Amino acid sequence: MVRMNRSRRRPTGRTVTAATVAVAAVLALVAGCSSGRSSQGAAAPSSDGRPSGATARTVAVVPRPARLTLGSGAGFGVTAATPVHAEGGPDAQAAAALVAGELKLRTEGGSGAGITFRLDPRAATPPEGYRLTSGPSGVLITARDGAGLFHGGQTLRQLLPAGGGYGTVRALVVDDSPRYAYRGAGLDVARHFFTVAQVEQYVDLLALYKFNHLHLHLTDDQGWRIAVSSRPQLTAVGGRTEVGGGQGGYYSAADYRAIVRYAEDRHITVVPEIDLPGHSNAAIVSYPELACAGDRTPAPYTSAGVGFSRVCTGKESTYRFVDDVVAAVAELTPGPLIHLGGDEAKTLAPADYQAFMKRAIAVGRAHGKQVVAWDEAAAEQPDLLQIWHPARQSTAAVVAGIAAAARHGSKLLMSPADRAYLDQKYDPSTPLGLAWAGYVSVEHAYDWNPDTYLPGAPRGSVAGVEAMLWTETLSTSSDLQLMDLPRLPALAEVAWTPQAERSWADFRLRLAAQAPLWRSQGWTWTRAAGVPWP
Ligand code: TNX
């Protein structure tokens, strides 16, 4: 069973205060709301292609809540003077403080009219779920865990007038929780290095769309980005290169801890990836004994090719290296997962590859982690198998092998390149990115079902979805944003919203309505086809 970050909960105390009175007023509004699934009987979006605001379907929240019911009464006007209250202990205070900061509001002790974050261990909300009610006397967000409160706060941000300003939150009730426990985004910091501040900005984007895992691809042929004190050459040598010949960089233990902490505060778990036995040129340049006798002389690599490197799988010293690195990274990582790669080891014999992956997975487990690996490692049954090959490029035998791993207990993490690789161009006009998996339009990223993507995958085997951003062609934050926006929110909705509640027809309207919020954050985006941009 794969443990994800849901179980994480700090001790909480619960204070029942006079706020219950104000809360009751808000709840009275709920009774006046029309009930039923938001998708049922919803009017079609207005013909001018902009969100009409008149139907539950087009209220501009992404990912679309599992259930949203419009109220008939007045909404709640938020001004710069609106107080934010927290009830229920430190997790409530943390969520209230973060969201208040994002909205430029102040938190206030006590209770009363305003915005209230209420942690209630007895609430009926599922893990990470929340209830948000808005009416004349305020906005109340209730959840059973801190993650739920935080996600509710992100919904509130989107319900306020675009651009992060103040205004009216319409009267409504949202009852929301995620479809999948794992909603991830992978960032390749190896091909190009991104600083702590850049990664934190990336986390801000993920948090807005309710992602809960950040997968950092920390090592590859072109660079090694994480300090391992027992192997200092990895960063002293391997950290100094990147695609295109730039200076590279790496995270010290303190840097990495800062990223982990920043993400954790936003209910995002970091999943570090050490990619072996292929994609290992930077490690081999740092420690040439990782190569087999007779392999080519190690040399730094700053182009974008893949599949040529391998560590020597027949030497015990290689496994001591794996153990040193995994021990260090596991020690720095509070989350339950470590990713050990396993992709594109094209110069290794299958038997050598399999023997290596088997041992690597055992090392990860020995250091207390559950192991994620790319889909080539299906036969070795990692805890989480990350699917990246487009189904149409896979042979029946490969698909059958993945299904067999799932039957034996591996959970599947869906990142099929033809849907979830955000380094792929939108269309032939996209200046950045690659196109080996085909063009990935916004609609294509949106319009698929992770549960049925792989024929033969057993029911319930899909643990989640991960959007991957490889950076061979991307070197600045705005490069990342141009590829992520608007497709990352599409994948957020794939991962969060029940399949039956999703439709491209209204998603494109809700997506277009995000643009002012992006602008207010200083983020850039691609005005991709099919979306009625403002
Ligand atoms: C394949 S997907 C890779 C990456 C590349 C990416 C480029 C996978 C597990 N390996 O090494 O960066 O394609 O799209």
- Closest CA to ligand 1's atom 11: 306
Q: One of 108, 200, 344, 443 is an active-site residue; which one?
A: 344
Contact 418, 409 (CB under 8 A): no
Please tell me the least confidently modeled range out of 31-35, 430-434, 470-474, 526-530.
31-35
- Using CB atoms within 10 A of its CB, is residue 8 exposed (0-12), middle (13-18) or buried (19+)? middle
Q: What is the pLDDT of residue 17?
A: 28
Query: What global pTM score does this model have?
Result: 0.91
For 304-363, the pLDDT digits (tens) are: 999 999 999 999 999 999 999 999 999 999 999 999 999 999 999 999 999 999 999 999
At the top level of CATH, the class of 182-520 is alpha beta
Which atom of ligand 1 is found nearest the CA of 470? 12
Contact 383, 368 (CB under 8 A): no
Structure tokens at 292: 């087999």
Burial 17-44 (b: 16+ CB within 10 A, else e): eebeebbeebbebbeebeeeebbeebee
Q: Does the C-beta of 388 come closer than 6 Å to ligand 1?
A: yes
Name the residue of 189, 343, 385, 418 to mutate for ligand 1: max ligand atoms within 8 A of Cβ.
Answer: 343
Contact 407, 458 (CB under 8 A): yes
Closest CA to 225 of 251, 256, 258: 251
Q: Round to whole Å and give the CA distance between 130 and 210.
A: 12
Distance 279 CA to ligand 1 centre (A): 10
Beta-strand relationship, 337-341 and 76-78: unpaired
Which residue in the block uniquely carries the two structure tokens 């999948």?
Answer: 180
Q: Does the C-beta of 447 come closer than 6 Å to ligand 1?
A: no
Q: What is the pLDDT of residue 57?
A: 87
- When pLDDT is averaged across residues 410-430 and rounded to a whole number, the result is 98
Could you write out the DSSP letters of every residue in 366-404?
HTT-EEEEEGGGGGG--SEEEE-S-GGGS-HHHHHHHHH
Q: Round to whole Å and give the CA distance between 12 and 179.
A: 26
Distance 142 CA to ligand 1 centre (A): 41
Contact 253, 225 (CB under 8 A): no
Give the model's confidence band at 41: pLDDT under 50 very low, under 70 low, under 90 confident, else very high: very low
**Bridge partners of 444?**
none
For residue 201, is pLDDT > 80?
Answer: yes
Please tell me the least confidently modeled range out of 9-23, 227-241, 370-384.
9-23
- When pLDDT is averaged across residues 414-443 and rounded to a whole number, the result is 98
Name the residue of 280, 344, 418, 425 to mutate for ligand 1: max ligand atoms within 8 A of Cβ.
Answer: 344
Query: What is the location of CATH 3.30.379.10 in the chain?
Result: 67-176
Q: Does the C-beta of 221 come closer than 6 Å to ligand 1?
A: no
Mean pLDDT in the chain?
A: 90
Closest CA to 430 of 486, 386, 391, 389: 486
At the top level of CATH, the class of 67-176 is alpha beta
Which percentage of the chain shows pLDDT scores above 90?
Answer: 85
- Closest CA to ligand 1's atom 10: 343
Which percentage of the chain shows pLDDT scores above 70?
Answer: 89
Q: Does the C-beta of 434 come closer than 6 Å to ligand 1?
A: yes
Q: What is the pLDDT of residue 98?
A: 96
Helix (H) / strand (E) containing 413 = strand 411-414
Contact 147, 502 (CB under 8 A): no
Q: Round to whole Å and give the CA distance between 95 and 141.
A: 10
344 is catalytic: yes
Strand order in the sheet with 130-135: 67-70, 172-176, 130-135, 138-143, 114-119, 83-87, 106-107
Query: What is the location of CATH 3.20.20.80 in the chain?
Result: 182-520
Angle, vertex CA 388, rays to CA 327 and CA 282, nearest 5: 45
Q: Tell me the CA distances in angstroms from 390 to 229, 238, 375, 461, one per residue in order.
A: 38, 31, 11, 18
**Bridge partners of 214?**
185, 270
Q: Round to whole Å and give the CA distance between 463 and 207.
A: 19
For 96-139, the pLDDT digits (tens) are: 999 999 999 999 988 889 999 999 999 999 999 999 999 999 99
Closest CA to 471 of 238, 263, 271, 198: 198
For residue 3, is pLDDT > 60?
Answer: no
Q: List, in sequence order, every beta strand (DSSP E) within 189-281.
A: 213-217, 219-220, 223-224, 269-276
Distance 337 CA to ligand 1 centre (A): 20
For residue 45, is pLDDT > 60?
Answer: no
Q: What is the pLDDT of residue 54?
A: 53
Structure tokens at 523: 């983020």
Q: Round to whole Å and give the CA distance between 34 and 56.
A: 11
In sequence order, the 6+-apart residues with CB closer than 8 A to the CB of 294 are none
Q: Round to whole Å and give the CA distance between 67 and 297.
A: 59
Q: Angle formed by the axes of helices 196-208 and 146-159, to 10°?
A: 80
For 367-414, the pLDDT digits (tens) are: 999 999 999 999 999 999 999 999 988 889 899 999 999 999 999 999
For 62-86, the pLDDT digits (tens) are: 999 999 999 998 999 999 999 999 9
Q: Round to whole Å and give the CA distance between 330 and 75.
A: 48
- When pLDDT is averaged across residues 490-508 and rounded to a whole number, the result is 98
Q: Round to whole Å and give the CA distance between 506 and 44.
A: 8
In sequence order, the 6+-apart residues with CB closer than 8 A to the CB of 105 are 78, 80, 82, 83, 84, 115
- For 468, the 3-state DSSP assignment is strand
Peptide bond preceding 277: is omega within 30 degrees of 0, i.e. cis? yes
**Bridge partners of 132?**
141, 174
DSSP 424: B
